[in-house]
Amino acid sequence: MNFRLMLWCLPVFVYLLSLGGAYLFLIRCYEFEDYPSIIEQQGDSGIYGSGLRSDQLVYKIELLKHRSDEVDVVAVGSSRSGPFRREHFTSSFINLAVAPLDAQHFYWLAQHALEEKKPKILIACFDFWWTNSNFMETYKFVQPNLDQNRHVSIANLHEVFHYLRKGELSFTDVFNLRHQPGKVVGLHAITRGRGCAPDGSFRSIPPHNDIIKNGLIRELIAAHAGQKRFQPSQSLQSVHLQQLNRFLAFLKKKGTPTIFLFPPVHPEAAKILQSHDHSHFRKLKNHLQSRCPQNVQILDASDASLYQADDMEFSDLIHGNEKAYARMLLWASHQITGLDHHLDLTYLKEKIKPSF
């Protein structure tokens, strides 16, 4: 009888022991810490990428509050503004890129940034699908939840097992209690090299070229078929257009010099946006031209061929890498008055040199 009981208890004991190891590992990864502690752990060079949290917007707000100095340049937008980094600028810089993001969260975050700091320039990266009447038709805004409380759950602990099964973690990583991740904070940063630097910019290990090529082919087929963000539309979503007008009025009131930027898309994707089926994009730019206050300059950098960014400088149809953004900034320095005073032109020119 005792032997049968031991056979039944052994798997339970092993399971509970595994949960304990997973819990201690997540504690060492700072997954259950509040954001001020995480930012302190990052220091000046650490990467933070959580595998459990989806409240990246709250992290960026805390990152903004953590900066005691006045920030000269602020970038705000979705993951497509993520490649901007402090090395690109001679002035102090912070990146409030958040993924995923939508138009109303974009307005909310930009307004919060301008209330919290007094930047000399705001780079507001606007995604072309945010006013697409077909794509955004069913979208409803959810007010950001600034509650940072993290509750331990069985599902959280099972995430560690998921990474073990995929080979992204080893048992040594998880169960060696003396192992400390150091400046790499969070599951995604540790296992995938993906996360945010202390300046808020997105950092990741570049995928292999073959993976990029295969992914781009599949996405181009879907884009030509009018799927997802590339749904054809010839009208603007009225609700988001009203919000856009309110945001422009807010920018006028604040008086902050602003670059209203349409970030680059893959050259083939740019051709799709320029087609007749996507006249909503042209109407959006025309609307901005007629409504923008004097302190706001519009920069359409969606066509990457304008600054010779090639296919391999995009991880997918809508995300350029740092090299593509370095090219864009050098090009933008000739389009936007005064932007060159904030840019490290030497670094940018070095960045776009061919690598052999």
Per-residue pLDDT tens, the chain, 356 aa: give them: 576 766 677 787 888 888 888 888 888 888 888 889 899 888 888 899 988 887 788 889 889 888 877 789 999 999 999 999 999 999 899 999 987 677 888 888 888 888 878 899 999 999 988 888 777 655 555 666 666 556 678 888 888 888 888 888 877 777 665 555 557 888 888 888 889 999 999 988 666 565 566 677 778 778 877 777 888 888 887 777 888 888 999 999 999 999 999 999 998 889 888 887 788 889 899 999 999 999 999 999 999 999 999 888 998 899 999 999 999 999 999 999 889 999 999 999 999 988 75
For residues 109, 318, 132 and 300, what is the CA-based torsion angle, rounded to 10 degrees?
A: 80
Give the number of other CB atoms < 10 A from CB of residue 11.
9
Q: Give me the domain span that covers residue 313.
A: 2-137+155-351
- Give domain status of residue 86, yes or no: yes
- Give domain status of residue 143, yes or no: no
- Give domain status of residue 145, yes or no: no
pLDDT for residue 143: 64
- Give domain status of residue 142, yes or no: no
Give CA–CA dist 283/184, Å, rounded: 44
pLDDT for residue 179: 56
Q: How many CA atoms lie within 13 A of 294 on its CB side?
A: 1
Task: Give, in degrees to the nearest 5, the angle at Cα 88 between 83 and 89.
Answer: 130
Give CA–CA dist 353/336, Å, rounded: 23
- Both tokens assigned to 345: 């032109």
How distant is the alpha carbon of residue 251 from its chain centre? 22
As beta bridge partners, residue 265 has 303
What per-residue string of b and e applies to 303-326 under the rule 16 or more CB within 10 Å gives b?
A: bbebbebeeebbbbbbbbbbbbbb
Give CA–CA dist 48/60, Å, rounded: 11
Q: How many domains does the chain have?
A: 1
- Give domain status of residue 150, yes or no: no
Burial of 30 (0-12, 13-18, 19+ CB in 10 A): buried
Q: Which residue has the tokens 């991740």?
A: 181
Give CA–CA dist 73/220, Å, rounded: 34
pLDDT for residue 328: 97
- Give domain status of residue 46, yes or no: yes
267-270 contact pairs (CB < 8 A, 24+): 267/303, 267/304, 267/305, 267/309, 267/310, 267/311, 268/220, 268/223, 268/317, 269/220, 269/223, 269/230, 269/317, 269/318, 270/302, 270/303, 270/304, 270/305
- Give domain status of residue 149, yes or no: no
Question: Is 300 strand, coil or helix?
Answer: strand
What is the Cα Rg of the chain in Å?
Answer: 23
Pairing between β-strand 195-196 and β-strand 202-203 as defined by DSSP bridges: antiparallel
- Give domain status of residue 148, yes or no: no
pTM of the model: 0.88
